Structure 1
């Protein structure tokens, strides 16, 4: 069972391509014979985690791929590290703006993704989809969900889970926009690649994908 999540719109955006992309990815995976579900998370500290945990309890997934929007990035970003820090530059959709607060009070400083991020990167590259390994998921609701997911799965040796950021979709931008983007269909196929890789890969591969800064 594969669980995919995306977010509702936030800030000044009227749509969120992460939710659109995971819905399309769910359909791709279902056509291939996988059991897959997609859930929209509120862009709200706390509530987003509640919906995620309730969905995990309901669907009992083996693989969880959460997605969120990182406007300005050029490619799919496989997040490697979730940190125990909420530090919101803008309020969430309920007006909350935590600053320098822990996601889980007393929790570890960070968790690594349980997805095989290097194998997924390789498979995305083979598929011709722009992708990278990212060392920071930020400190907004995306990282909040990522860290809470990893904390939830900390003692679970069977379930694989992690987070991927997507850029703006080409469909949502105005014609004159110069912001980086990807077509929704490409993002959806990329998320499906990540989910397939998590299902079919044991140990992650060693592949250079680090960053100098």
Structure 2
């Protein structure tokens, strides 16, 4: 198995993006799976163009996109991506779409094809705070997750993929007041745990246990 893991470049005035920084520490091999990492731009549509090129170049079996979710306490595999761009802030090239469909011919939403519940369980076993997220937002992270799953449905049906959000790292919250953060090492450990679960549950679906929320 080959796993492509992507992370975004810094955005929103930050000097670092823990999503990509954490991928740098991933082992080259995790439970027999070969790991390839890459950085993608925090830019609507361009991020998907880069991802498409990476998939064609690397031909991975699994694609895991990682993004920053400042304010979250744990690592959160995303359950669903919705077909809308609604940018609270401009992307890194100044694009600010409002209520625009990502793919006009696409469905309203796509669900991750990764074993997200098994991923959360494996992270918790390693002492990493984690939970399933039911919203990837409406910024570039949701955009890329939707585009990835659109590509899988239309161009790469033999592949699986999804998205993981990670918290700020400590250096990002020094002047932000009471914001949660997680060490870069713990984020990397969490991502490796996710990949371990992906390898273990390949072809087996996901755990059948609760992972929902009441609100």
TM-score (norm. length: structure 1):
0.94
Q: Deviations over 1:79-128 (max 9, x none)?
A: 00000000000000110000000111121000000100011111111111
* 8 Å CA contact retained: 1:18, 1:67: yes
Distance 1:49 1:78 in 2: 19
3-state DSSP class of the match of 1:203? coil
Aligned equivalent of 1:4: 5
**Helix, strand or coil: the match of 2:33?**
coil
Residue equivalent to 2:24: 23
Whether 2:96 is the aligned partner of 1:97: answer yes
1:133 Cα deviation from its structure 2 partner: 0.2
Counterpart of 1:42 in structure 2 is 41
Please report the RMSD computed on the Cα atoms of aligned residues, expressed in angstroms.
Answer: 1.6
Structure 1 residues 209 and 33: CA distance shift in structure 2, 3 A: closer
Gap runs ≥5 in structure 2: none
CA distance in 2, matches of 1:31, 1:193: 9
Count of residues in correspondence between the two structures: 211
Give the TM-score taking structure 2 as reference length. Answer: 0.93
Pick one of 204, 208, 211 that aligns with 2:210.
208
Indicate the SS of the match to 2:70.
coil
Please show how residues 1-213 of structure 1 align to structure 2 within 5 Å. Answer: 1-25=2-26, 28-30=27-29, 33-155=32-154, 156-174=156-174, 177-201=177-201, 202-213=204-215
Asked whether the equivalents of residues 5 and 65 of structure 1 are also in contact (C-alpha less than 8 Å), the reply is yes
Alpha carbons 1:63, 1:195 under 8 Å: kept: no
Q: Which sections of structure 1, spanning at least 5 residues, go unmatched?
A: none
Q: Structure 2 CA distance, aligned partners of 1:18 and 1:171?
A: 14
